[in-house]
Amino acid sequence: MERQNAWKGYKQKQLKELEALCSEYRDFLDNGKTERECVKITIEQAKKSGYKNLDTIIKKKQKLKAGDKVYAVIMDKAVALFNIGTKDIEEGMNILGAHIDSPRLDIKQNPLYEDTDFAYLDTHYYGGVKKYQWVALPLAIHGVIVKKNGDTVNVSIGDNEEDPVFCVSDLLIHLAGEQLEKKAAKVIEGEQLDILFGSRPLPDEKKDAVKANILKLLKDKYDMDEEDFMSAELEVVPAGKARNAGLDSSMIMAYGQDDRVCAFTSLKAMLSVDEVERTACCLLVDKEEIGSVGATGMRSKFFENTVCEIIDRLGEYSELKLRRCLKNSKMLSSDVNAAYDPMFASAFEKKNSSYFGRGMVFSKFTGSKGKSGSNDANAEYIASIRKIMDDAKICYQLAELGKVDVGGGGTIAYILSLYGMEVIDCGVAVLNMHAPWEITSKADIYETKKGYEVFLKKA
């Protein structure tokens, strides 16, 4: 089944829309390099579109009705948006779900040390990374330091032109004979991923003078002591902005596109629908890359609790109503797919791979070793999605993530499916997934955003 390349059908008007959307997308990536930053942007944009904080509505004992738009946040790391539909919420919602955490290096809680006149910060990587990809490139640090008195200091160093950047050093090729004999998984090991943080000693200091100077700078700039690292969340990410890629600028190269490409397109779709029949929901969650754990991951009760509050504000809460609402809902679990890469053709099965330019990717199932751990979308549901997408002339393709038994991956789809709702994995094809710089196709971003929008309106 040959699927068409979306670029071939675009007229001037669509190309203009596509470039405008992708320009906004690059800004989203530049300003959202951590889950906290993504939540912040999401709330700002939601407020501009008339969304109100659900907590305030609860506190003021206000009611919700059709047409109202609300958002709920947990721990500044996950967010849910709701646009209340004209139909009874018991008939179900149309849900877009994506994740806003990305692979990175996290600063440890006792990180700072000095060795041979260098100061370092020790890290523990987050999510699945090829460790050798994180050396010898400019890195930035984004995050928060929370003091004992409750004050939060926001940190962002390395992404402004004037900022210094950071680095994990690699061994020079001249001395790397032995290193290059090692397996790729061992070329750089986890404990070697320490950030080079400084090299200038504090004059007159006898012991650990470079570290002492770093502590002085931290005190001056952030009013922090070494102990404050204990209650900090500092994420080391590639420094630099999202860029157009290819001589034809048909692609985007940037950090964190898994899964912010789906988060951004879901958010844009959510904010561009106005009146809906079925309540629309956009869910942007944390911790997908480490198993959807914790209070801000998809497996937490955050989403369910928020739906309880919404039904309550609609003036008609009951457990039965909640269960019916969830069971009758439909979801697009949006996450990236592995784009077919001719350079690594043997990892793919060509008929069932996703391709750049062929639009939104749907996956009936994910998982590994015989679909294990996956949601397996219902054929009836897929048929209804095909109709919606075909009627709206959205370019889409159906694909698996790589060849059978080569590997695999999971998403948040199976978690929502536990409620008995219809869920299918879908998203955008990505090259070099989980590398510091990932690549997507602008046409796929454009088609996916349109696909999400029509799903919210028609599913």
Contact 70, 53 (CB under 8 A): yes
Window of 85-93, 152-160, 172-180, 253-261 that interacts with Mn ion by CB under 5 A: 253-261
114 binds Mn ion (CB under 5 A): no
- A 10 A CB-CB count for 318 gives 12
Residue 272 CB, nearest distance to Mn ion (Å)?
23
Residues 192 to 231 in contact with Mn ion, rule: CB under 5 A: none
Measured CA to CA, the distance from residue 382 to residue 422 in angstroms comes to: 9
Nearest to 187 by CA among 171, 200, 207, 168: 171
Each residue 309-348 as x (binds Mn ion by CB under 5 A) or -, in order, gives --------------------------x-------------
Residue 344 CB, nearest distance to Mn ion (Å)?
17
Look up residue 442 and give its two tokens. Answer: 């602008």
Measured CA to CA, the distance from residue 83 to residue 279 in angstroms comes to: 6
Residue 383 CB, nearest distance to Mn ion (Å)?
26
Distances (CA, A) of 372 to 114, 203, 376, 458: 45, 59, 10, 31
> How big is the CA angle at 432 (ends 38 and 428), to the nearest 5 degrees?
55
In the bound state with Mn ion, the residue whose beta carbon lies nearer, of 208 and 288, is 288
In the bound state with Mn ion, the residue whose beta carbon lies nearer, of 285 and 395, is 285
Residue 220 CB, nearest distance to Mn ion (Å)?
38
Nearest to 51 by CA among 23, 73, 19, 33: 73
Distances (CA, A) of 238 to 26, 40, 153, 158, 229: 15, 20, 21, 9, 21
Q: Containing H/E element for 323?
A: helix 319-327
In the bound state with Mn ion, the residue whose beta carbon lies nearer, of 235 and 259, is 259
Among 35, 233, 258, 286, binds Mn ion (CB under 5 A): 258
State how far Cα 278 lies from the chain centre.
26
Residue 336 CB, nearest distance to Mn ion (Å)?
5
259 binds Mn ion (CB under 5 A): yes
In the bound state with Mn ion, the residue whose beta carbon lies nearer, of 258 and 286, is 258
Window of 52-60, 197-205, 207-215, 258-266 that interacts with Mn ion by CB under 5 A: 258-266
In the bound state with Mn ion, the residue whose beta carbon lies nearer, of 279 and 366, is 366
In the bound state with Mn ion, the residue whose beta carbon lies nearer, of 83 and 417, is 417
Residue 127 CB, nearest distance to Mn ion (Å)?
6
Residue 54 CB, nearest distance to Mn ion (Å)?
26
- A 10 A CB-CB count for 80 gives 24
- Total interface residues for Mn ion by CB under 5 A: 3
In the bound state with Mn ion, the residue whose beta carbon lies nearer, of 114 and 258, is 258
Contacts to Mn ion by CB under 5 A: 258-259, 335
